[in-house]
C-alpha cells in the first residue's frame, strides 16, 4: 500500500482531535474529487512498518484514527488497512477509527475490517449533491456508527 500523506493533528476528519491517513488507490474516479492525486495506487510513498509505528505513536495523544484517500478499501489496500486497524485497536481499545470509502456499505459489509471500525462513511462523492451534513461531501453518502453504544444506520 502507498499513502499520500497523514495529518498528525486533524480537527476536520471525524470527532475530536485525530490522526488522519490518506492512502493511495481509488477505482471510483468521482467527478469533482478534491484528492485526484491519490487515485493511482502507486502514487505517494510506501506505507512501511516504520510509517505505521510513527502513525500509531501519534495516536496516543489524540482521540482516534481517520482513514481516507484515495480509498482505504481499494482491493489493494484492504489487507494493510486491516492490519493497521488491528494494531490500532490492540494498542488503543478505547479510541475510535473512522473510515471513508466510495463503496456502499452493502458491497463491503462482510469485509473483516468492519469489525474494527467505529464509524464508516460510504458512497461515492457526487458533486451535484452537495451536503451540509457533517463529515460527508455529498448527500448520497451515509454515516454508520458501527460500534457506538446505540449503533445507528440509515
154 domain-assigned: no
Q: What domain range includes position 44?
A: 2-7+19-145
Hey, is 90 helix, strand or coil?
helix
Residue 35: what pLDDT?
Answer: 79
Read off the pTM: 0.92
Tell me the residue ranges of DSSP E strands in the chain: 2-10, 18-23, 45-46, 64-68, 96-100, 119-122, 142-145
120 domain-assigned: yes
CATH number, domain containing residue 130: 3.20.20.70
- The total domain count for the chain is 1
CB atoms within 10 A of CB 102: 22
Q: How high is the mean pLDDT of the chain?
A: 91
Instruction: Give me the mean pLDDT over the 45-70 stretch.
Output: 96
Per the CB < 8 A criterion, the answer to whether 24 and 4 are in contact is yes
Examine the pLDDT at 151 and tell me if it is beyond 50.
Answer: no
Alpha-carbon distance 89 to 40, whole Å?
Answer: 28
At 12-25, the pLDDT tens digits run 999 999 999 999 99
Q: 97 phi and psi, to 5 degrees?
A: -120, 130
Instruction: Give me the mean pLDDT over the 111-140 stretch.
Output: 93
45 domain-assigned: yes
150 domain-assigned: no
Alpha-carbon distance 19 to 54, whole Å?
Answer: 11
- Residue 148's pLDDT band, with cuts at 50, 70 and 90, is very low
| Nine-digit cell string for 10 | 486533524
14 domain-assigned: no
12 domain-assigned: no
153 domain-assigned: no
At 73-104, the pLDDT tens digits run 999 999 999 999 999 999 999 999 999 999 99
151 domain-assigned: no
Amino acid at each position: 500500500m502507498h499513502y499520500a500523506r497523514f495529518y498528525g493533528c486533524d480537527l476536520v476528519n471525524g470527532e475530536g482531535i485525530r490522526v488522519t491517513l490518506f492512502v493511495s488507490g481509488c477505482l471510483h474516479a468521482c467527478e469533482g474529487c478534491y484528492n485526484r492525486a491519490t487515485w493511482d495506487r502507486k502514487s505517494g510513498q510506501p506505507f512501511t512498518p516504520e510509517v505505521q509505528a510513527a502513525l500509531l505513536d501519534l495516536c496516543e495523544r489524540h482521540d482516534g484514527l481517520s482513514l481516507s484517500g484515495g480509498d482505504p478499501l481499494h482491493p489493494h489496500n484492504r489487507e494493510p488497512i486491516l492490519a493497521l486497524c488491528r494494531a490500532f485497536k490492540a494498542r488503543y481499545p478505547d479510541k475510535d477509527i473512522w473510515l471513508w470509502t466510495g463503496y456502499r456499505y452493502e458491497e463491503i459489509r462482510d469485509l473483516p475490517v468492519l469489525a474494527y471500525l467505529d464509524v464508516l462513511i460510504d458512497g461515492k462523492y457526487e458533486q451535484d449533491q452537495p451536503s451540509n451534513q457533517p463529515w460527508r461531501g455529498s448527500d448520497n453518502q451515509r454515516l454508520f456508527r458501527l460500534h457506538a453504544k446505540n449503533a445507528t444506520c440509515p
